[in-house]
C-alpha cells in the first residue's frame, strides 16, 4: 500500500503549488518511494487527515500519520534510511539555515505577489476562507498585498545570497542534490505554479540550478502543470 501524501490543489486539481508539499515530494522522489497524492482544498478541513491540525503536508504510511514538512523529511530519513537526504549532521544543520532563510527573506518578499493570484486560481468554495485567512495573516487585503511596491526587487535581492553556493557548486548538496536543495526548490515551485508569468529574475547561477532541479526525476517538477 503506497504512502499517502495529502497535497493542496487549486480549482484545477492538477495545479498543486504548496511549497511545503513540494519539499516533501522532492524528498519522496529522492528516496524513490512511491506515493499516492490525496488532494484537498484550502477550506474544507474535514477532508484533512487531522481536521483540527488543518494543515498540509501530512503523510499517512500504514498506521502512521506524520505532519509538517520538516518532521516528515526527518521521519522519512529515519524510517527509510536508503538514499539519505543528508550525508552529515552539518548538512542537516545547513538545511535548517536554508529553511530559516526562506521564512525570513524569500517568503516575505515573494508572498505579496502570489496570494491574490492563488486566490484567483483557487476553487470557488475555497475563496472566502483563503481570503479571510491570508488577510488576517498579512494584516492587509489581497488587493493591498498585490499593490505593494518593490516586492519583485526585494525577491531578487533576497535571491542574491544563493549565488554564493550555487556559483561554486552544482547543487546546495555539492555534486548532487540533498535536503537543502529540496527545501529551497520546494519554495521556488510555489511562484512557478501560482502564475503563468515569471514574476522575478533569479541570478544566473540560481536560474541554472533551478533548471537542473526541474530536470531531476525525469522532469517531475518541470512537468507539473502551471496556470495558463
Interacting residues toward a second copy by CB under 8 A? 86-94, 96-101, 104, 160-169, 171-175, 178, 180
- Sign for the pseudo-dihedral over CA of 58, 29, 221, 103: positive
Asked if 226 contacts 193 with a C-beta cutoff of 8 angstroms, the reply is: yes
Asked if 155 contacts 200 with a C-beta cutoff of 8 angstroms, the reply is: yes
Q: What's the closest the beta carbon of residue 78 comes to a second copy, in angstroms? A: 15
Q: What's the closest the beta carbon of residue 26 comes to a second copy, in angstroms? A: 15
Where b means 16+ CB within 10 Å and e means fewer, 145-179 reads bbeeeebeebbbebbeebeebbeeeebbbeeebbb
Q: What's the closest the beta carbon of residue 185 comes to a second copy, in angstroms? A: 14
Asked if 38 contacts 6 with a C-beta cutoff of 8 angstroms, the reply is: yes
Q: What's the closest the beta carbon of residue 154 comes to a second copy, in angstroms? A: 13
Q: What's the closest the beta carbon of residue 36 comes to a second copy, in angstroms? A: 30
- Sign for the pseudo-dihedral over CA of 173, 174, 176, 182: positive
Specify the residue, 28 or 166, whose C-beta has the smaller distance to a second copy: 166
Specify the residue, 10 or 179, whose C-beta has the smaller distance to a second copy: 179
Specify the residue, 147 or 164, whose C-beta has the smaller distance to a second copy: 164
Specify the residue, 82 or 175, whose C-beta has the smaller distance to a second copy: 175
Specify the residue, 155 or 178, whose C-beta has the smaller distance to a second copy: 178
- The CA–CA distances, whole Å, from 132 to 19, 115, 125, 137, 158 equal 20, 12, 13, 9, 28
Asked if 83 contacts 77 with a C-beta cutoff of 8 angstroms, the reply is: no
Specify the residue, 141 or 163, whose C-beta has the smaller distance to a second copy: 163
Cell triple for residue 80? 527509510
Q: What's the closest the beta carbon of residue 90 comes to a second copy, in angstroms? A: 4
Amino acid at each position: 500500500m503506497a504512502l499517502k501524501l495529502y497535497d493542496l490543489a487549486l480549482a484545477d486539481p492538477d495545479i498543486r503549488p504548496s511549497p511545503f508539499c513540494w519539499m516533501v515530494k522532492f524528498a519522496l522522489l529522492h528516496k524513490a518511494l512511491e506515493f499516492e497524492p490525496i488532494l484537498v482544498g484550502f477550506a474544507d478541513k474535514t477532508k484533512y487527515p487531522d481536521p483540527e491540525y488543518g494543515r498540509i503536508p501530512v503523510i499517512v504510511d500504514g498506521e502512521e500519520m506524520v505532519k509538517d514538512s520538516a518532521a516528515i523529511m526527518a521521519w522519512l530519513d529515519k524510517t527509510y534510511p536508503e538514499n539519505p537526504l543528508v550525508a552529515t549532521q552539518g548538512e542537516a544543520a545547513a538545511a535548517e539555515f536554508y529553511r530559516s532563510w526562506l521564512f525570513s527573506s524569500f517568503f516575505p518578499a515573494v508572498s505579496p505577489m502570489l496570494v491574490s493570484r492563488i486566490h484567483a486560481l483557487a476553487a470557488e468554495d475555497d475563496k472566502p476562507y483563503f481570503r479571510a485567512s491570508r488577510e488576517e495573516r498579512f494584516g492587509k487585503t489581497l488587493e493591498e498585498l498585490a499593490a505593494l511596491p518593490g516586492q519583485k526587487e526585494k525577491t531578487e535581492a533576497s535571491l542574491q545570497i544563493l549565488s554564493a553556493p550555487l556559483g561554486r557548486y552544482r547543487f546546495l548538496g555539492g555534486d548532487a542534490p540533498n535536503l537543502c536543495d529540496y527545501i529551497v526548490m520546494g519554495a521556488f515551485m510555489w511562484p512557478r505554479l501560482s502564475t503563468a508569468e515569471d514574476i522575478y529574475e533569479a541570478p544566473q547561477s540560481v536560474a541554472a540550478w533551478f533548471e537542473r532541479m526541474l530536470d531531476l526525476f525525469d522532469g517531475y517538477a518541470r512537468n507539473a502543470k502551471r496556470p495558463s
